[in-house]
Amino acid sequence: MKMLLNGHWLDRPQKIEVRDPHDGSLVDTVPLASRDDMHAAIEAAEAGFLRARAMPAHQRMGVLQRAAQTIEHEHETFARTIAREGIKTIREARKEVTRCIQTIRISAEEARRLGGETIPFDQMPGSENRLGYYRREPIGIIGAITPFNDPLNLVAHKVGPALAAGNAIIVKPDSKTPLSALKLARAIHDAGLPLGVLQVITGHGSEIGGLLVVDPSIRMISFTGGLETGLKIMSKVGLKKVGMELGSNCPVIVMPDADLQHAVEANVSGAFWAAGQNCLHVQRLLVHDHIYDEFCERFVSKTATYRVGDKLDEATDMGPLINEAAAVRVEQLVEQAIADGATLLTGGERTGAFYAPTVLAHVPDHTPLAREEIYGPVTVLYRFHELDEAIDRANDVEYGLQAGIFTNDLNTAFHAADRLHCGGVMINDSTDYRIDAMPFGGVKGSGLGREGIHFAVEEMTELKLICVNLQSPISSSPISIT
């Protein structure tokens, strides 16, 4: 596939090979962009922004609506692209395509909602003759850096709001999974977007990603990825807006009054969706003493039935990690936890890039698996006796994206929701639950700002105030009240 630079689909002599992590087979190639290519994209985006901000809302809406129709029409093609280049099974990939369509359509609706409010200037003595209001304006050029785990919908979560708000945007997709981003760009480009408003530049982050971060023409960086990379970006970004989602170590609390079967099924799905390569992955399960043994038995039994294998097989529940190196990293973290005293309940086996769904207990607090983001199909079980004990343990990491609690008691649910230090609390759902319209983001090491289309549009716009000093009084005589 070719990359999109200033409205043209361009190739380059040097290529990046996109390989299926299942077996290493070649899926396609994309251009290996140079620093000159990124400089050209930034220059083109400066002109593209002028075109984007001049587009009336109905034109922005029309482009996004037509793009959504194209994706819907090519639903299965998009899904197979996601499954081939990345880590999702075909069933998981289809759900991602459906969510992407919703993301783009909601973005189109947000284009009509860019409004403001009037300001009562007469609250200040001497300002009785002033009228004013504020409105939202596009911020400029946005640089988007996206990960491999949701190669279509996470790109849409940056592109859709950016276009709805009248910005230009340059996307640097993960070099392991660039094909879905390019297909999305093709759908939007063909829907009538002006030159330079959206560009997708394929290359290595070390070569071209840094240019987006430091170039003063880029007014916002929207990044989804790891904490370490996020910290590096923050050290270089300069004076511009930043939106970051940096992963987590998500906890779920299971109370003794919970619907046990529902809690098991929801959390097995939350633990092993996309092979655990998911910022909302259920990594820590905190289970009350009274039900721990039964919950543990059911959870391990359900995990052991998970079908791992060919992503394109309709019967497969879980595919591989993104590459063998990622699977080796997970394997080493599990082995270290076991060496530190953890008990392996199921899984713990690696075959190439595949790592079996794995459950551990008795994981000591000091081992990395208890505190870091595993980014793999591994979940840890803990016992607790008092709710506040579980909440304290849930909060005792440097992440805070989403947390969950399963209970049928409203007082318990809202007590936990109030005390859990995170961006979102799911009651009777795993941490993996999300809809694309909700505010999404974390605290502490989980990031800055919020995604979710309406909230991303706010992040990608700036307020402008307009105040008019009328030369003649609004009212020349006071009103008498009798």
Q: How far is CA 15 from the centre of its chain?
A: 27
Q: Is 339 exposed, middle or buried (0-12, 13-18, 19+ CB in 10 A)?
A: exposed
Find residue 254's DSSP bridge partners: 287, 406
**Number of Cβ within a 10 Å radius of residue 479:** 5
What b-and-e string marks burial along 286-319, b requiring 16 or more CB atoms within 10 Å of the CB? bbbeebbeebbebbbebbeebebebbbeeebbbb
How far apart are alpha carbons 6 and 189 in whole angstroms?
Answer: 11
Alpha-carbon gap, residue 57 to 163, rounded angstroms: 10
Q: What is the dihedral of CA 57, 58, 61, 65, to 10 degrees?
A: 180
Report d(CA 354, CA 438) in Å as an integer: 33
Residues taking part in catalysis: 245, 279
